[in-house]
A and B are shown apart, each in its own frame.
Chain A
């Protein structure tokens, strides 16, 4: 029988933050789990993901990721292409269900409700967890109908005036109202790229979601339009919880409070955005942020 003294355990076992997959960890923090460096928890979590694995067919796209998304915070997910950050984002409102070969393991909760529970209806979930996509994708309908689409299918309004009110409020919140209020019946696809993306944001917030997922929302926009959308994200934070995937580290630094760095399907490091960018603790994070790869 092998006995281990408490004393030897403390020195022999690896710290909890060690990553198995060949990464070289640096000094660890106490609350890290699953090989992730840093604190994966949020003070007031709205969504919690635990031990999430995602497979595309036999290929493991996300390996054992655990992460909290806190109320009224913007969390940025960064990492090189193909690192799984978008896949993880799409797990949060089960958009991956539309991909036949995609399989999700683990547990994701929205306000203590397991969203992968077999009894859960995915339709109200997606109303609660809205999504804004990489490429602006307004419907080829009028601006008004674009925003009114969600409220109509969910039957959120009883009268035309209520619907008008929701449309106006959503466009106001998305910072688009002044630009389009005189031409609500024009086609949404006729707007400029930046306006289209803000229209898509208005369309998402029209169904009053709790969480908004943004998948590289500014990658198809020019710098000025990007600045508008970033301002908007900052304003929206007061009412919504936002998770944003981005390739731009400056954007992550500007808009987010917490940042998660993904690499090859694993969550390498999470922390306050300021800490991550000024004092990354994992070598991979540091290499990525300093532009050595990615």
Chain B
């Protein structure tokens, strides 16, 4: 019997408990006015009984499953011969691993000796006992909970309030999971970044003009010292993001103005979803579009003009990223333009302004904060975008403002630093965390500013 089966049995018991709870509540008031004599609807009594049956049992099962391996491990270790118990932790871990493998019939790394076989048998016994105990405890707890919940039911009992408070705590739990996950990610990145800054000074990282993260494996290797100056990476990131915004802002904004102010209902009905399909194209598709179509196109057309275009130019990556961001900007701008009250348009048109004067002098100024907020969100998206630049931007960290040259971005470097086999204690690997932290901080600030701007705008007409 596995834990899955146990959980299924528990769920079955909960259904039974629900049914029993509903039945008991109905029976209690059968003679005295029916359901109306109850404080809550019968279903709430059912849910209440089911929760009493299921929740404590599930909690105990969860704790049991998470604690049992540790306890068994300690018991097995305490039973090992003195010689093996004295081993250093890493080797002891190997031994335990072997014992576990032996118990489960897997391949064992070391030679099997009688002491180990004994330990394996011990391990197996302990596990079986533990499992049987958990089944007994959990099931009896479920039944006890069921009968307690069932007994608590009286016509005056406020089952609805109890059930709703459990649901509220469930909601609280779900929302904190997201928060704690974010916090956990930030902290893990932060600690690794701090480890990185122990080897590379933070000033060198932030203000260094050279990026070459190759670390020597042997002492005599050429180019042994890595350089971790982040400036070229950020210059590259900003250059590509700038090109992307130069493409996306005018096109996105103007298409939003056309769609919300000028387009007929019919055109709008099919053009808007079509534009938003752009946002649904996977970025990897944009990536090879940039690498295989746009970049060669720019290079081939640049050559006759006497331009020396790199085959992995910032221009190609930026152009394609801009196209990717167009729907982002257009749909956000469309929303804020539509949020400008019709009375503003009426007022302007009523004075005799033309439609375009109304758009330029009333609607755009009124929607401007919202549009700026949307643009900032798009910038943070452009800075964090990875797939397009991995495929279309280069790897060499050039510090240049020339869009025809190859540049690299923060995200590209993070990918290359972590792809493949890496030593986890080398600055080269840890640098990825420092880069990630910096990127996170920048996009966080951009998002906070953008959301703040957008929220202020929303209040403007109330």
Instruction: Identify the A interface with B (CB < 8 A).
Output: 93, 95, 98, 100, 123-128, 130-131, 133, 135, 137-141, 149-150, 153-154, 189, 200, 203-204, 207
Are A153 and B350 also in contact (CB < 8 A) when A100-B265, A139-B362, A140-B366 are? no
User: Do A123 and B343 have beta carbons less than 8 Å apart?
Assistant: no
B265, B345, B349, B460, most chain A CB atoms within 10 A: B349
User: Do B361 and A149 have beta carbons less than 8 Å apart?
Assistant: yes
Determine the chain B residues whose CB is within 8 A of the CB of A130 once the complex forms: 350-352
Q: How far is the CA of A93 from the CA of B351 in the complex (A)?
A: 10
Q: How far is the CA of A141 from the CA of B348 in the complex (A)?
A: 13
Determine the chain B residues whose CB is within 8 A of the CB of A95 once the complex forms: 346, 349-350
B347 at the interface (CB under 8 A from A): yes
B308 at the interface (CB under 8 A from A): no
User: Do A139 and B357 have beta carbons less than 8 Å apart?
Assistant: no
User: Do B352 and A137 have beta carbons less than 8 Å apart?
Assistant: no
Given contacts A95-B346, A204-B350, 8 further A-B contacts (CB under 8 A): A100-B264, A126-B351, A131-B350, A133-B346, A133-B350, A138-B347, A153-B352, A153-B354
Q: 29 A-B contacts, Cβ less than 8 Å apart?
A: A98-B345, A98-B349, A123-B353, A124-B352, A127-B351, A130-B352, A131-B346, A135-B343, A137-B343, A137-B344, A137-B347, A139-B344, A139-B362, A139-B366, A140-B365, A140-B460, A140-B461, A149-B351, A149-B353, A150-B352, A153-B353, A153-B357, A154-B352, A189-B460, A200-B347, A203-B347, A204-B350, A207-B351, A207-B352
B341 at the interface (CB under 8 A from A): yes
Give min CB distance, B350 to chain A, whole Å.
4
Ranked 5 nearest A-B pairs via Cβ: A127-B352, A126-B352, A137-B343, A131-B350, A150-B351
Interface size bracket, B side: 20 to 34
Select B341's contact among A124, A127, A137, A154, beta carbons within 8 Å. A137
Give how many A-B residue pairs fall within 8 Å (CB-CB): 69
Interface string of B302-346 (1 = CB under 8 A from A): 000000000000000000000000000000000000000101111
Q: How far is the CA of A107 from the CA of B360 in the complex (A)?
A: 33
Determine the chain B residues whose CB is within 8 A of the CB of A149 once the complex forms: 348, 351, 353, 361
User: Do B361 and A153 have beta carbons less than 8 Å apart?
Assistant: yes
Give min CB distance, A170 to chain B, whole Å.
12
Interface string of B265-279 (1 = CB under 8 A from A): 100000000000000
Determine the chain A residues whose CB is within 8 A of the CB of B362 once the complex forms: 139
User: Do A203 and B351 have beta carbons less than 8 Å apart?
Assistant: yes
Determine the chain A residues whose CB is within 8 A of the CB of B460 once the complex forms: 140, 189
Q: How far is the CA of A150 from the CA of B361 in the complex (A)?
A: 11
Give min CB distance, A198 to chain B, whole Å.
14
Nearest opposing residue in chain A for B341, CB measure:
A137
Determine the chain B residues whose CB is within 8 A of the CB of A128 once the complex forms: 352
Give min CB distance, B277 to chain A, whole Å.
26
Determine the chain A residues whose CB is within 8 A of the CB of B346 once the complex forms: 95, 98, 131, 133, 137
Nearest opposing residue in chain A for B354, CB measure:
A123
Interface string of B218-246 (1 = CB under 8 A from A): 00000000000000000000000000000
Are A153 and B351 also in contact (CB < 8 A) when A137-B341, A139-B344 are? yes
Interface residues of B in 99-140 (CB under 8 A from A): none
Determine the chain B residues whose CB is within 8 A of the CB of A154 once the complex forms: 352
User: Do B343 and A133 have beta carbons less than 8 Å apart?
Assistant: yes
Determine the chain B residues whose CB is within 8 A of the CB of A138 once the complex forms: 347
Give min CB distance, A199 to chain B, whole Å.
11
Determine the chain B residues whose CB is within 8 A of the CB of A98 once the complex forms: 345-346, 349
Interface residues of B in 345-379 (CB under 8 A from A): 345-354, 357, 361-362, 365-366
Determine the chain B residues whose CB is within 8 A of the CB of A141 once the complex forms: 365
Determine the chain A residues whose CB is within 8 A of the CB of B345 once the complex forms: 98
Nearest opposing residue in chain B for A154, CB measure:
B352
